[in-house]
Amino acid sequence: MPTPDLEESLAAAVGAGNRARAQELPALAVDGVTPQGAAFPASAEETAQVMKLAAAESLAVVPKGGGTALSLGNPPERADIILGTRRMDHIVDHAAADLTATVGAGITVQRLNEALAEQGQGVLLDAPLAERATIGGVLASDTVGPRRLGFGGPRDRLIGIRVADAAGNLIKGGGRVVKNVAGYDLNKLFVGSHGTLGVIVEATFKLAPLPNTRAAMVGGFSTLEDAMAAAAELRAGWLRPLALELLNGTAYGLISARTSTPGMADRPYILVVDLGGGPAAVERQKRDCHKAIVETGGISMAVEGHQYYPAFWKALLDLGRRDDGPASMITRCSVQFGQVLPLVHGHEAMAEGGKLEIGIDVHLASGTIRGFWWGEKKGMADHDTLADTVPTLRTAAGHVGGAFVVESCPLPVKRKLDVWGPVGPELAIMKRLKQQFDPERILSPGRFVGGI
């Protein structure tokens, strides 16, 4: 229960109507840890005030954007204050001629891209549940999607950042012009820090012009080996797709059903190639994709037009995360391209052995394999069965220099394992950074790798 003093202090920092009431706090619990209070500042300065309060009272703070990535991480040691960024949802500056934009951390990915699209531009970051996912959350979690291949990820597009640190100081890195390289690179430091070093309050991005024409080519294959052969040919050629994805039949079937996209009957592996450019260039790319697909034993079709194309990619990004069909567990395995094939087979073998259903989506550009795990017939899976899949796949990934992370799972499963897995010698550096930026362990204690 919040103390009257904490309620009054939070109200003084952000306004009485912008802090949670006692009855609202259970709904804001993080992995079973209920906060004593919650505040929703509207500015960098109000955020700094909340952090100063937390530092003075030794209260742990967990930053929260849209909550779409809040399941990623170990349970916090403490979560005294939830600091929500949803009110910092403004576009500070859009210099269309310079292809840059500065925005508040609470703006959603969807709203930002819709606003920028009016000028034919976009930040072009992929995020599941983009209507809820905030820019600050995408940066803090380093959320990377399919179109990283064509447009880059958060680290590539970010050129400036403003952060409230654990003591309540506002610090800034980078700038509002692409050529700015002066000073310490705080951008890369805070991207992927999972709210353990500071609270992102503002970000500046370099933008990209939107392609005139967009289309996707979908290839269906009878074997994983054929699908990977087609992917290897596309990677080796002149074609520069915006995304190159591999789906298994379960994943594609869910996407197809949600979007009314034609199915790929009896084709258990699906290759999806995202294309963009001028109309003539896209037509040429479609022909080249079709050729590569059929020459490796596949069948192909195009997904294009306003009716199908946007909905198809949104369904792919939201796979396993929507309320009408959430996966029991979501895992991420990162390996080199040459190790994707055996690791996908390994995921399938573990699912079959545990009588689980699995949807698989592979970002072939980065070798990132996401597994979406359900019980039989899309039901909720047994907790022990889910937990038992992790050590085997983590060991297999580790043997080839990869990593295996549990992005989302029920709390009883999370209590049985470390969602991050082992960390190499870089952990010592990360701990020193934590000590430098947050010596009192105010920010998200215990959530990140190695208990940071």
Q: pLDDT digit string (tens) for 221-245? A: 999 999 999 999 999 888 889 999 9
Q: What is the pLDDT of residue 180?
A: 43
State the pLDDT confidence band at 305, using cuts at 50, 70 and 90: confident
CA–CA separation, 102 and 25 (whole Å): 32
State mean pLDDT over 37-45: 98
Q: Which residue's structure tokens are 């689980």?
A: 356
Q: For residue 9, what are its two tokens?
A: 């202090």
Q: How far is CA 388 from CA 361, 381, 385, 413, 422, in A?
A: 21, 12, 5, 9, 17
State mean pLDDT over 133-156: 94
**Residues near 415 by beta carbon (within 8 Å), at least 6 away in sequence:** 75
Q: For residue 83, what are its two tokens?
A: 């600091």
Q: What is the pLDDT of residue 182?
A: 43
Q: Is 266 helix (H, G, I), strand (E, B) or coil?
A: coil
State mean pLDDT over 325-339: 95
- Rounded to an integer, what is the distance from CA 226 to the centroid of its chain? 29
Q: Which of 18-27, 178-187, 320-329, 343-352 has the lowest mean pLDDT?
A: 178-187
Per-residue pLDDT of 59-68, as tens digits, reads 999 999 999 9
Given a cut of 60, whether residue 1 has pLDDT beyond it is no
Q: What is the pLDDT of residue 176?
A: 65
Whether the Cβ atoms of residue 423 and residue 403 lie closer than 8 Å to each other = no
Q: Which of 163-177, 286-300, 323-337, 437-451 has the lowest mean pLDDT?
A: 163-177
- Could you list the beta-strand ranges (E) of 168-282: 170-174, 199-206, 208-209, 213-221, 243-248, 269-277
* Higher local confidence (pLDDT), 186 or 443: 443
Amino acid, res. 171: I
CA–CA separation, 181 and 309 (whole Å): 37
State mean pLDDT over 373-399: 93
State mean pLDDT over 103-118: 97
Q: For residue 280, what are its two tokens?
A: 């003539």
Q: Which residue's structure tokens are 């290897």?
A: 232
Given a cut of 60, whether residue 321 has pLDDT beyond it is yes
Per-residue pLDDT of 258-303, as tens digits, reads 998 888 878 999 999 999 999 999 999 999 999 999 999 999 999 9
Given a cut of 90, whether residue 183 has pLDDT beyond it is no
Amino acid, res. 151: F
State the pLDDT confidence band at 184, using cuts at 50, 70 and 90: low
State the pLDDT confidence band at 354, using cuts at 50, 70 and 90: very high
Share of the chain above pLDDT 90, in %: 87
State mean pLDDT over 310-319: 95
CA–CA separation, 319 and 14 (whole Å): 36
Q: What is the pLDDT of residue 104?
A: 98
Q: Which residue's structure tokens are 């520069």?
A: 240
State mean pLDDT over 97-116: 97
Whether the Cβ atoms of residue 369 and residue 332 lie closer than 8 Å to each other = yes
CA–CA separation, 198 and 47 (whole Å): 11
Indicate the average pLDDT of the chain: 93
Whether the Cβ atoms of residue 76 and residue 32 lie closer than 8 Å to each other = no
**Checking phi first, is residue 223 left (phi over 0); if not, alpha (psi -120 to 50) or beta?**
beta
State mean pLDDT over 3-31: 93
- Rounded to an integer, what is the distance from CA 269 to the centroid of its chain? 24
Q: What is the pLDDT of residue 177?
A: 54
Q: What is the pLDDT of residue 416?
A: 95
pTM of the model: 0.94
192: DSSP letter:
T
Q: Which residue's structure tokens are 């990360």?
A: 430
State mean pLDDT over 130-143: 97
CA dihedral 405, 406, 407, 410 (to 10 degrees): -170
Whether the Cβ atoms of residue 239 and residue 288 lie closer than 8 Å to each other = yes
Q: What is the pLDDT of residue 179?
A: 46
Q: What is the pLDDT of residue 187?
A: 85
Given a cut of 80, whether residue 43 has pLDDT beyond it is yes
Q: What is the pLDDT of residue 181?
A: 41
State mean pLDDT over 347-367: 96
Share of the chain above pLDDT 70, in %: 97
* Higher local confidence (pLDDT), 179 or 243: 243
